[in-house]
Amino acid sequence: MVDLDFLIQYGFILLVISITTLVLSMYFRKKPKVDKGFKFAYHGLSYRRKFLRTIYSIPFCIFPLAIIYYFERFSANFIFVTLLLVIVFVFQMSYNYIKWKKED
């Protein structure tokens, strides 16, 4: 079973990330989106660039998962984090791809 402290920690992290995402998406809502060149802020990118950045970030998520696996093996924490990342990536890639194709 998943430990309660683990859920509280990750719940707090998820809350902070969600609030940050909400604030940034509201800030960049009416601004022009960048489709060429470098842009640090994810929310300032076009849907095509968001889709590509999501694909490019997959190796950067596999590395932390490998570290967690090395120390934890197939613990509940590892399975939870892996499932969460897979669900988020699939949803994010699908959403950005659909929105990109609607723009074209």
Domain ranges of the chain: 4-103
pTM of the prediction?
Answer: 0.74
What is the 3 state secondary structure string of the chain?
Answer: CCCHHHHHHHHHHHHHHHHHHHHHHHHCCCCCCECCCCCCCHHHECHHHHHHHHHHCHHHHHHHHHHHHHHHCCCHHHHHHHHHHHHHHHHHHHHHHHHHHHHC
> Could you report how far apart the first and last alpha carbons of the chain are, in Å?
46
Q: What is the pLDDT along the chain (104 residues), one digit of tens a residue?
A: 567 787 788 889 989 999 999 999 899 988 888 888 888 888 889 999 999 999 999 888 888 888 888 887 877 877 887 898 899 999 999 999 999 999 88
